[in-house]
């Protein structure tokens, strides 16, 4: 298993989740992965919309070397454009950071990710419910630290506290 992520906290989180499930993690830089004929069985690769940390070419390189490799594109941005770019470049799925243990386990098992089992537009959660879920995922990722979560979310600490006081919206 290879993890390519520029965020050290995200990389450490993924490493601990994977090691607890018995996966061996290879410490490989993006440059090394491009240059050396390394063929991992699975890869988690961070992508983002600005040109600084896009690793879409790595998806194509890995897929070219081993067509059966399992590749998950990781992103902090919930964008259809980013997800479709990653899928076109060779990713099997696109996971939103911080990655949940259940999502990671589905990926490792080779199961299709259905994003909560939604089968149609009537089963999809509301935007408010998705926002509430995402805020709580980020808060859990930072072990309940509201200051760190507010920095990650790009909102004021007081705004985050006010949103957390509200009841979660119904689906």
- Strands laid side by side in the 70-75 sheet: 2-4, 42-46, 70-75, 93-96
Q: Is 118 part of a structural domain of the chain?
A: no
28 and 103 housed in the same domain: yes
Q: Is 60 part of a structural domain of the chain?
A: yes
Supply the pLDDT for residue 6: 80
In the structure encoding, which two tokens stand for residue 28, read together? Answer: 């490989």
Tens of pLDDT along 90-118?
889 888 888 888 888 888 887 554 444 43
Supply the pLDDT for residue 170: 64
Query: CA 92, CA 122: separation in Å to the nearest integer?
Result: 25
Q: Is 117 part of a structural domain of the chain?
A: no
Q: Per-residue DSSP letters for 52-63?
A: TS--HHHHHHHH
20 and 67 housed in the same domain: yes
Global pTM exceeds 0.85 = no
For residue 94, the surrounding DSSP H or E stretch is: strand 93-96
Supply the pLDDT for residue 125: 62
Q: Is 122 part of a structural domain of the chain?
A: no
38 and 87 housed in the same domain: yes
32 and 74 housed in the same domain: yes
**Count of the separate structural domains present in the chain:** 2
The partner residues of 74 in beta bridges, in order of sequence, read: 46, 95
DSSP symbol at 77: S
Q: Is 170 part of a structural domain of the chain?
A: no
Supply the pLDDT for residue 61: 87
Supply the pLDDT for residue 54: 61
Supply the pLDDT for residue 150: 94
68 and 134 housed in the same domain: no
* Average pLDDT per 10 consecutive residues for the chain, totaling 171 residues: 84 87 84 83 80 70 89 80 82 85 83 45 63 83 91 94 81 56
81 and 9 housed in the same domain: yes
Q: Which domain holds residue 137?
A: 127-165
């Amino acid at each position: 298993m290879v993890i390519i992520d520029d965020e050290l906290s995200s990389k450490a989180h993924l490493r601990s989740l994977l090691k607890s499930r018995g996966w061996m993690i290879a410490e490989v830089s993006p440059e090394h992965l491009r240059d050396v004929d390394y063929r991992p069985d699975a890869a988690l690769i961070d992508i983002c919309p600005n040109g600084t940390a896009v690793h879409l070419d790595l998806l194509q390189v890995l897929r070219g070397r081993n067509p059966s490799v399992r590749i998950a594109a990781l992103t902090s941005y919930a964008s259809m454009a980013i997800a479709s770019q990653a899928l076109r470049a060779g990713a099997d799925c696109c996971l939103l950071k911080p990655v949940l243990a259940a999502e990671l386990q589905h990926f490792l098992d080779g199961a299709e990710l259905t994003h909560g089992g939604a089968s149609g537009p009537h089963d999809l959660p509301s935007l408010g419910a998705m926002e509430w879920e995402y805020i709580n995922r980020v808060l859990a990722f930072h072990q309940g630290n509201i200051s760190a979560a507010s920095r990650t979310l790009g909102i004021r600490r007081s705004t985050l506290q006010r949103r957390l006081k509200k009841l979660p919206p119904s689906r």
